[in-house]
Structure 1
Amino acid sequence: MELLILAVCLIPLVYAFICTCKWVLQWRDQGCYMLAYECYKAPESRKLNTESSAKIVFRNKNLGLEEYRFLLKTIVSSGLGEETYAPPNVIEGREQHPTLADAHLEINEVIFDTLDKLFARTGVSPSDIDILVVNVSLFSPMPSVTACIVNRYKMREDIKAFNLSGMGCSASLVAIDLVRHLFKTHKEAFAVVVSTESMGPHWYMGKEKSMILSNCLFRSGGCSMLFTNNRALKHRAILRLKCLVRTHLGSNDEAYECCKQVEDDRGYRGFRLTKSLTKAAAQAFTMNLRELVPKILPLGELLRHFTVSNRQTSKIKSTELEAVGSSLNLKAGVDHFCIHPGGRAVIDGVGKGLRLSEYDLEPARMALHRFGNTSAGGLWYVLGYMEAKKRLKKGDRILMVSFGAGFKANNCLWEVMKDLDDANVWKDCIDSYPPKTLVNPFMEKYNWINDEYLSFVRLELDA
């Protein structure tokens, strides 16, 4: 009888012990480590300076005086420098009639160049890849882009391939979140994420100002990344994902409509950006921070923030981010801020809302200046700048902030696993950054566009 009672008592303890061991083993396999990343740098022949941009503007015969002036004003004040890159068909003057071949050429250049370098750098064979996730928002061919990669590198038949489209500038973190969840059921796996965008076939040829903006800001670029959950490779990792939070405001009509691919009244297809964008970004980011902050800040800072927040009496409207940021010290849990270089207004807004210094915003500003808005790949040019400037030390924490159509705010925290100092895609120009001024050198040449009494367009551009 005593043995029976003892056995009955021990069964729950043994069961609890087994469950604990199982949980620990599962937890050990849920790490997400980045082993390497490779950003794309186009050939010199694809550079798009202000002079070239102006020529492209004047090729569009659908534009009137006001549209010309609006475009040129936007170009010279966008924060983009003189060395960004444009798609091949735009450089060659074929933006009005792009072909399917143009789309494939643009995408394949980015994907295969970065993947070739990624496999060479890490020594990981394409046949070792268990998971492949590709995000290209505006190009979804058949067979898919993932199928094209599998065919090119002759990857395994059992590879788990996912093709994401329509996710916007925040798609890179969506893809990484997918990998993070897949790692829970795939042990000691390798995963590749490819983030880029199709620009050339979607160059807007109409005259609506809200749609012209995309031509001024978006440029060619992309990045391929290699991840693993194999703890035996932890010593090779450069980053470890600490947490990732996704916020989606698609149920809000105003937020849903603020970034959208549409056709104008004349049938020209483009990407429309409305004035509601900044409001949607502030709302989504604030909601995201409410979930993210408890995961990244120490207890003392959380208590201080909670106390100060309860004392605030101001109403939270479209400037909600500023209200939250005024009492929040993210630097208590974050060392570096990797902000999506979507445009000068995006960077300024996040900086103001979170009370960040110019040092904090420098990587995003420089990535925008050197490479432009490269959509989902933009975050990794910002990270590359930090690394090239030797800012990233072992144990540092990096907050990635991204926004995307839908409307979405996807943010995550990384831990730096070793001192990083690779000049990467910035190798040829990092010594010249930051420049003494970000003022466009052609501002003086094109100052006539600010003449309110202008009655004609001065065409002083060479053919």
Structure 2
Amino acid sequence: MDLLTVAYLLLVPCLVFFIARWVLEWRNQRCYMLHYECYKGKDEMKLNSEKCAQIVQRNKNLGLEEYRFLLRTMVSSGIGEETYGPRNVLEGREESPTLLDALSEMDEIIFDTLDNLFAKTGVSPSEIDILVVNVSLFAPVPSLACRVVNRYKMREDVKCYNLSGLGCSASVISIDLVQRLFRTRKNALAIVVSTETMGPHWYCGKDRSMMLSNCLFRAGGSSVLLTNDPTRKDKAIMKLKTVVRAHVGSDDEAYSCCIQMEDKEGYQGFLLTKYLKNAAAKALTKNLRVLLPKVLPMKELLRYAIARRLKKKTKGESSGGTGIGLNLKTGLQHFCIHPGGRAIIEGAGKSLGLSEYDIEPSRNALHRFGNTSSGGLWYVLGYMEAKKRLKKGDKLLMISMGAGFESNNCVWEIMKDLEGGNAWTDSIDGYPEMAKIPNPFKEKFDWINDDTLSFVRI
């Protein structure tokens, strides 16, 4: 037997082995979404314009200028009157929150969404193999993930993860973590819980850059049920196509543009600097350079490359391809932009060449529920479902941005037409498509000027 034959006999089994291993790993990388639930607070928790004004007036640290700034910010925030606030703030105890306040806030959001998730899917808590809970600003001992395990008496071998400090994009990070864990476990069920504790972190100082968080962040959250079990494929509503993460935290300005800190007087809060917009643009650009080639058709990628090359030749390198953008709608039909604020939504929409129709779900999610941190993307998804926009075969891009600074995005494929009930059910009729939504804060506070402030403040 010659050496060539021996090499052939050794090579073929090895090749078969590696192909089989690759196929098995690819099969385990599958990630299906079976269901998701968004938290909907009780009516007494709604933070309407009158209650917002009362909370502002309670802050004795504010002078007339700070008071006027805060009211003007609320006017332009894009927030409506039906967002939900934490109980200790609504009860006037924002300056002295307790550990019980934080735990109660988390219990209400987390257990409400999980109870609904288990009830609607018929999945038992004892069937869960992987649990990921992300809450950035609150890390008690035992962890919130352990609190969930204890409440639902989950199995002793459940893989439990508690993530903190990751900001508004933590939900997509959690999805990425679950997908990677699926590679090591067949036919698994996983839950991702995404929320944030607002009550203990209500800013009571007068630093303008730290007062902004009070105007935008609201109580809310979500729970998502995922699996890589092929026998459950027919029950899935979406399939994960790809996840891409980009981190620009090595840049000092990007790192510190969105950061938890104390002001000069010792009041703890969340600082949002003027560099936030640049950091978000930088992180999003780096992310999309990797993500878009994976989801857009080759024809569109070639068109973009040729058009950019031609423009550089005709107008010089300094043009940088300005004015020539990829047409995202050649491979994507829907866009879930993190509802972090009006400027973020409009800025992302403009840079991506999206229409008002495309950014409407994020804009209205901000208006109805506010910035609910890592849970915000799921309220945007819920709006699309309530409007019956999501059809089988459509592709949906989730765009999240958070402290670090990070941009973590993912693409889902819709597995069936979606039109189920969710947190939007009782309010969706108040949001006609492509209609201008009333701004209650503008109607009530836009008239305020320096002459009237003294009277209002008293």
Does TM, normalized by the shorter one, top 0.5? yes
**Equivalent residue of 1:402, what SS?**
strand
- Mapped partners of 1:31, 1:325: distance in 2: 37
- Quick check: 2:342–2:363 contact (8 Å CA) kept in 1? yes
- Per-residue deviation, 1:458: 2.5
Distance 1:189 1:324, change over 3 A: farther
- 1:454 paired residue number: 451
What is the aligned partner in structure 2 of residue 387 from structure 1? 385
- After TM superposition, the score normalised by the length of structure 1 is 0.95
Counterpart mapping for 1:51-450 below 5 A: 51-310=50-309, 311-312=311-312, 313=316, 315=318, 326-434=324-432, 436-449=435-448
2:325–2:353 contact (8 Å) kept in structure 1: no
Relative to structure 1, the CA distance from residue 336 to residue 5 in structure 2 (aligned partners, 3 Å threshold; closer, same or farther) is closer
Q: Deviations over 1:108-134 (max 9, x none)?
A: 100000001111111111111111000
Superposed CA offset, 1:53-74 (max 9, x none): 0110000000010111011111
Query: Using the alignment, how far apart are the partners of 1:423 and 1:199 within structure 2?
Result: 27
Distance in 2, Cα, partners of 1:112 & 1:350: 33
In 2, the alpha carbon distance for the partners of 1:432 and 1:157 equals: 46
SS of the equivalent of 1:399 reads strand
CA distance in 2, matches of 1:406, 1:71: 26
Amino acid aligned to 1:420: L
SS at match of 1:48: coil
CA distance in 1, matches of 2:155, 2:142: 17
Q: Name the structure 1 match of 2:10.
A: 11
The SS at the match of 2:440 is: coil
Deviation track 1:240-271 (CA, whole Å, cap 9, x = no partner) reads 11001000011000000100000000000000
Alignment partner of 1:448: what SS?
coil
Distance 2:10 2:322 in 1: 50
Structure 1 CA distance for aligned equivalents of residues 96 and 124 of structure 2: 39
Contact 1:366–1:434 (Cα < 8 Å) also in 2: no
What TM-score results when the alignment is normalised by the length of structure 2? Answer: 0.96
Cα displacement (A) at 1:9: 2.3
Cα pair distance change 1:19/1:214, threshold 3 Å? same
Residue 439 of structure 1 and its aligned partner are, at CA, apart by 3.9
Describe the SS at the equivalent of 1:426: coil
Comparing 255-264 with 231-240, which one deviates more in the overlay? Answer: 231-240
Instruction: State the AA in 1 paired with 2:411.
Output: L
- 1:226 maps to a residue whose letter is L
Structure 2 distance, partners of 1:358, 1:72, is 27
Supply the distance in 2 between the matched residues of 1:82 and 1:185 (Cα, whole angstroms): 46
Whether the 8 Å CA contact 1:77–1:439 is kept in 2: the answer is no
Q: 1:203 to 1:303 in 2, by over 3 A?
A: same
- How big is the shift at 1:442? 4.1
Q: CA deviation at 1:456?
A: 4.5
- CA shift digits 1:262-313 (9 cap, x unpaired): 0000000000000000000111111111101110110000011112223245
In structure 2, relative to structure 1, the CA distance for the partners of 1:325 and 1:241 (3 Å cut) is farther
Q: Give the Å deviation of 1:29.
A: 1.5
Post-superposition offset of 1:437? 2.9
**Contact persistence 2:392–2:417 (CA under 8 A):** yes
What residue identity is the alignment partner of 2:142? P
1:444 Cα shift? 3.7
In 1, are the aligned partners of 2:308 and 2:324 still within 8 Å (CA)? no
Q: Distance in 1 between matches of 2:129 and 2:323?
A: 41
Query: Could you tell me how far 1:187 is from its partner in structure 2?
Result: 0.9
- 2:80 partner amino acid: G
**Alpha carbon RMSD of aligned pairs, Å?**
1.7
Whichever residue aligns with residue 454 of structure 2, its letter is V
Distance 2:246 2:323 in 1: 18
Question: What amino acid is aligned across from residue 401 of structure 1 in structure 2?
Answer: I
Q: Counterparts of 1:286 and 1:24 in 2: how far apart (Å)?
A: 32
Query: Would you say the 8 A contact 2:385–2:418 is kept in 1?
Result: yes
| Superposed displacement of residue 225, structure 1 | 0.4
How far, CA to CA, are the matches of 2:457 and 2:265 in structure 1?
A: 29
Report the AA paired with residue 160 of structure 1.
Answer: K
Letter of the structure 2 residue corresponding to residue 458 of structure 1: F
> Which amino acid in the other structure matches residue 381 of structure 1?
Y
Residue deviations 1:217-257 (CA, integer Å, cap 9, x gap) = 00010000000011111111111110010000110000001
CA distance in 2, matches of 1:127, 1:401: 32
Query: In 2, are the aligned partners of 1:389 and 1:423 still within 8 Å (CA)?
Result: no
Judge conservation of contact 1:172–1:376 (CA < 8 Å) in 2: yes
Secondary structure of the 2:442 match is coil
Identical residues among aligned pairs (%) = 62
User: Contact 2:64–2:457 at 8 Å: present in 1 too?
Assistant: no
Aligned residues: 453
Amino acid at match of 2:187: E
1:315 Cα offset (Å): 4.8
Alpha-carbon distance, 1:104 to partner? 0.2
Deviation at 1:454, TM superposition (A): 3.0
Cα distance in 1 between the residues matched to 2:441 and 2:8: 82
- SS across alignment from 1:63: coil
Instruction: Give 1:159 deviation, angstroms.
Output: 1.0
